[in-house]
Amino acid sequence: MTEPAIAIHAGCGVMPRTGLSEADWEAARQDLAAALRAGWQVLKGGGSALDAVEAAVVVMEDSPHFNAGHGAALNTAAEHELDASIMGGGDLAAGAVTLLRHVRNPIRAARALLEAGGPVMLGGAAADAFAKEAGLEMVDQAYFTTERRVEALVSLKQRAQDGTIRSASEAEKHGTVGAVALDVNGHLAAATSTGGYNNKPAGRIGDSPLIGAGTYARDGVCAVSGTGAGEFFIRHVVGHEISSRVAYLNEKIAEAAGHVVLTDLARYGIGAGVVAIDAVGNVTAPYNTEGMFRGWITPDGHLSVGTHADIISLPL
């Protein structure tokens, strides 16, 4: 048996510490911890890595503090179009959904598609219809909307009009949630969910629902979930690239993920971060922005969360 481990992120480009009240920062940290505990409960009960990452992501999708599900970004038409994917490292089974408009928990739709065993990816109205037929909870668009995302949309539209869009913070622009896990049977899994970036063009699809880019898992190697400027994650096929560096260059997971985030992606001047876990439970979470919502429970059972450079230990 393998000692399990789990790691999560809820977006890089965390805003300056003064951007939220201490109460809001604490609430976000508690939601990170709740997501980790949900996944850990699955793992310690002998459940699968797939079940664990799904459980963790559902908690973050339900939180208003992160850009997925409730609290998702608004596109240029002030509408929500949601993306998610999930992958198991054993048989490389995967499910991905994009441009969802009414599924409360997009990661559940991605998991249902994986279990159906047909197409790997569905989009738009067809994806919503599939989820409804699968019995998943459907909601009105208003469920996803929070005041913070409305304010971000207004701010970015104004910046676009003023020609100052390049000075927008990463926190104003985008965010994503994701999880990676190793279970007691040595299987790896990864899951990612997002609302995309604020003021994105209608119909835009980023890296989060693309297997190999924003989400990737391969038993015996690693599992990866990414966050940041998705167009560059797609071009670099980030999840698979990190896995390949581990598998073919024999790099440690921290070295492989660090190289892709801090060298390959940093050259573009864009925000980027990942969480990754290897086949024995080593976790890494590199990012090149001011901060990244992140956390992990290591095989020794220690729970840690962070938003900026500092890491806080919390009870299981």
Burial group, residue 169, by CB count within 10 angstroms (0-12, 13-18, 19+)? middle
Question: Do strands 5-12 and 177-182 pair parallel, antiparallel, or not at all (unpaired)?
Answer: antiparallel
Taking Cα atoms as reference points, which of 78, 280, 275, 291 lies closest to residue 192?
275
List 2, 18, 76, 176, catalytic entry: 176
Residue 96 sits at the vertex; the CA angle it makes with 116 and 147, to the nearest 5 degrees, is 125
Taking Cα atoms as reference points, which of 73, 44, 284 lies closest to residue 171?
73
Residue 172 sits at the vertex; the CA angle it makes with 164 and 313, to the nearest 5 degrees, is 145
176 in active site: yes
Answer whether 248's CB lies under 8 Å from 194's CB: no
- What's the CA gap between 299 and 315, in Å, rounded? 14
Catalytic (active-site) positions: 176
